[in-house]
Structure 1
């Protein structure tokens, strides 16, 4: 894993950005995931430069541009799940390093990001996918909510609440938003945009912590045979014979969080055919043609592998970041959908 972390650091740009591949776009979600992996893999200086990069690109409203290519904005739109994810990275850094100064430095950016995200919550509880930017100012909101993106936001809100407790600045509106969001992900899937052909739409409510326990096992069982390809990994899209390493490792982490270590370990072993001799990872594999496609190694794939390896092995305290035992649970209050409140069933406090 140290070798793999070094391959991510080798693709980092001079200003600290971590693009998908050299010369490709950087987005703050995958960038933060890569920073987390760098920390796990011992590339501390590279991880610190990556986090510093996030501060320079956050906008006054709390969002980040969707795509940045070699120091220039390629897509000004703000995507909510991307702008929420710094909270996860900062909590992960705290778990690994216990650096209070780091938390204090990044807390204002985390707060602005999550405040912006919560401001785009829809009446049914999902979070609007994105907001356009035009001529340097916010534009229309895309009112569709995505299951995967909202699930990641649920995780980020929990991390944000943990940080808020740490710095002594409670954020009750985040807890309210997180509880409503969890309820929507569990009970109102039909109100989200239908992206059910993507495997992320399937496992992300489990990975993001909104669906766990028996409900989590049930959700995984629903489409196991649709997406899992024996000995290779999982499909990115159900209609294409293409297994991808990042999605496979995210499912690994979701399974381990449920306590299903046997299948998690097997899938993690299955996807290692994507590793090359230098410790890099191909994005995916088209199995009818027996070819790696696209012909590139991606930082986000390597990062997902490292985080999955850490969770499976428990090597660092950050191995809990997806399992979430250090994160608060959010009670379902203020529901506007007419459902009975799930506060009693969901509970509150530490999970």
Structure 2
């Protein structure tokens, strides 16, 4: 079945080419590096695998999750960076990289209804989530990384914690679907949400504030941390700081550089709170950054009018496919990024 058949023909072709680009980067064992001969990290690999799922390329997506299952360490984590199937960064493991597997597994199940797949990979998800929650601070934030000795690196990132918040939602949904409730996961998620909403002092304690990065602005919205009204206000307050019309979303507020993946994730954030017209406007502008091989350039410097860096990544194409699904309801998994705002009483 053609997932994209109800879309305009040009967009159908663009999304088909994007999925084919991801599949060409995939190695025979299932690993999806950023690009040919490039590195792989667990978070971006899941993003690429979700893109394959949206396109109906289910066997390659399953192969990616199987590779992650085989690479998972005994404590439930993954190294931050692999190349040629060998870990390249063993001095730290990033907690939001580890948690994101829950988002990918739940996304695949929503798209396919494959219950045996969910059962097969629940142990992987369980080990990953338990690893992450072992590094939750008393105030609720999740420390960003763990060193070689297994010790928490005692600071936290807003974007990373927001990503974990979404992953915990997905992990809880998996547990419910399998009738194996995990109440401590729910308690940890509630504590993390409260921290993200009301305890800004828990983040960026030992380094310069990251608020100049657009992801700190929109990712908590995408993850459903705020009520709908609060989320809308949050995006409106800094819209003109980060959105460069008609190019896309800046990576950081003080640099003339938009990135395609961040622009797609802003699209998801807008869809998540019902701002679909704004979302579609952002998304439509991004199609100019697709190359002839189906890949999307990572970013564009609008001051110098140059593509930078000179690379096209599998996870950028994955983000494009996820944004298209959320906007146009291409698969049942589109619901994952729709109506995500918190109901706060």
Counterpart contact for 1:233–1:267, Cα < 8 Å = yes
Counterpart contact for 2:81–2:89, Cα < 8 Å = yes
Residue number in structure 2 paired with 1:276: 291
Residue number in structure 2 paired with 1:111: 126
- Aligned pairs for 1:35-184 within 5 A: 35-76=49-90, 77-133=92-148, 138-184=149-195
Counterpart contact for 1:63–1:83, Cα < 8 Å = yes
Offset, 1:44: 1.5
Residue number in structure 2 paired with 1:217: 232
Which among 320, 328, 338 is matched to residue 335 of structure 2?
Answer: 320
Residue number in structure 2 paired with 1:17: 31
Check if 1:26 corresponds to 2:40: yes
SS class of match (2:89): strand
Higher-RCO chain (CA-CA 8 Å, sequence separation at least 6): 2
Counterpart contact for 2:119–2:178, Cα < 8 Å = yes
Give me the whole-angstrom Cα distance separating, in 2, the residues matched to 1:242 and 1:206. 22
5+ residue gaps, structure 2: 1-14
Counterpart contact for 1:243–1:285, Cα < 8 Å = yes
Offset, 1:324: 5.7
Distance 1:115 1:139, change over 3 A: closer
Residue number in structure 1 paired with 2:267: 252
Give me the whole-angstrom Cα distance separating, in 1, the residues matched to 2:339 and 2:125. 18
Residue number in structure 2 paired with 1:294: 309
SS class of match (2:37): coil
Which among 231, 234, 248 is matched to residue 246 of structure 2?
Answer: 231
Higher strand share: 1
Residue number in structure 2 paired with 1:337: none
Give me the whole-angstrom Cα distance separating, in 2, the residues matched to 1:285 and 1:47. 29
SS class of match (1:321): helix
Corresponding pairs, count: 326
The one-character-per-residue Cα deviations of 1:199-232 (angstroms, maximum 9, x if unpaired) are 1111010011112311101111221111100010
TM-score under structure 1 length normalisation? 0.90
Offset, 1:139: 3.2
User: Moved runs in structure 1, 4+ residues, more than 4 A?
Assistant: none
5+ residue gaps, structure 1: 330-344
SS class of match (1:346): coil
Offset, 1:191: 2.0
